Amino acid sequence: VPNALDAAQVLQSVGLGEHLHKFPSQLSGGEQQRVSIARAIAKNPALLLCDEPTGALDSATGVVILGLLQQMSREQGKTIVVVTHNAALAQAADRVIQLKDGRVIAVTPNQTPLAVNEVSW
């Protein structure tokens, strides 16, 4: 993949640097989810679509992962779309798009998004 990021560095960024040489069967469900996120990040896409990226993670690890995604958006100009049922996360979004029955019911810009670690969970 052209412009791909270093896999070891990306695994380190999601807290799995020490698991570089493990097989998926040797990882927990949450660790496997972080590997999936790392694989997507390593491809260095301009657009990253994340469907419930913290679903299998504990809250502290979820904050780390969401903070990493927010940092990528802010510092690298990446477009990150996060689909979640966690309404609190809207506090950290630049724009919130609400869906109901498969239709967009509201698009709300957030002029003052919080850092992920400032969100009240």
Which pLDDT band holds residue 1 (cuts at 50, 70, 90)?
A: confident
Residues of the chain with pLDDT > 90, as a percent, come to 97
- Taking only the tens place, the pLDDT of each residue in 44-74 is 999 999 999 999 999 999 999 999 999 999 9
pTM: 0.90
Kind plus residue range of the DSSP H or E element containing 98: strand 95-100
pLDDT of residue 17: 95
> What domains can be seen in the chain, in order of their start residue?
7-118 (3.40.50.300)
- Mean of all residue pLDDT scores within the chain: 96
Which pLDDT band holds residue 34 (cuts at 50, 70, 90)?
A: very high
Whether pLDDT at 121 is above 80:
no
Return the structure tokens found at 109: 């810009």
pLDDT of residue 9: 97
- Taking only the tens place, the pLDDT of each residue in 68-92 is 999 999 999 999 999 999 999 999 9
Residues of the chain with pLDDT > 70, as a percent, come to 100
